[in-house]
Amino acid sequence: MKLAEFGVRYQNAIPPMDLIEYRNERRAKLHEQEKERQRIREED
């Protein structure tokens, strides 16, 4: 698994739990944005 996949460059080693947490937060944020886009589309 490459850190670049997450759009982040770390010079230090990161505990895997932090990476997983970061990925989950990012996924949740993207999901929220997608729901918002969908809502805006439906209003038009």
DSSP assignment of the chain equals --GGGGT---SS---HHHHHHHHHHHHHHHHHHHHHHHHHHHH-
| pLDDT for position 8 | 61
Q: Which amino acid is at 5?
A: E
pLDDT bin (cut points 50, 70, 90) of residue 6 is low
pLDDT bin (cut points 50, 70, 90) of residue 5 is low
Averaged pLDDT, 29-44: 94
- For the chain, the domain total comes to 1
Averaged pLDDT, 14-42: 91
| pLDDT for position 16 | 80
**Domain with 23 in it:** 3-43
| pLDDT for position 12 | 61
